[in-house]
Amino acid sequence: MAHGAGSAEWLARSGYPELGEAIVGHPVTRLADGRWFDRWFAGASSEALIVAYADKRAGQKLESMAERFASWEHRYPPEVRAEKARGSWTPETLAAVRRRAEALEARVCDFLGIEPSDVRRLEWSGRALRLARDA
């Protein structure tokens, strides 16, 4: 089962089925499917768009979109991406994924009235993350 669908299913089994729609579209691999992305992007809720955008900006730390893509490209060179994605991550696909991620960023930031450089972790989030890790 795909990561996004599996996460939505896990949430449903855990008693939170209403969160599934916001989670199902978050994996970066969804951006490789242009038809899927176009349908999703046209009808996605604000919550789903924000979750998908947050996924593109947050690794172990908050990164710009360019930093995040550079990190993916470093960790998953073309031959690894091709094997993981069964050959679908050609340079053209990667360029399309980047364009769709940029469209996602523009839409989220536009409706929030912010610039991508305004996105940051709030002061309390470090402490909350440590508490969650230690629980």
- Please give the model's pTM, rounded to 2 decimal places: 0.80
Q: What is the per-residue pLDDT for 42?
A: 96
**Assigned token pair, 58:** 């947050």
**Assigned token pair, 130:** 């440590």
pLDDT tens digit at each of 135 positions of the chain: 577 788 889 888 999 999 888 888 888 888 889 999 999 999 999 999 999 999 899 877 888 988 888 887 777 666 655 555 545 577 888 889 999 999 999 999 999 999 999 998 888 888 888 888 888
Q: How many residues does the chain have?
A: 135
**Residue 24, CA distances (Å) to 36, 48, 69, 79, 132 in order:** 12, 8, 21, 27, 23
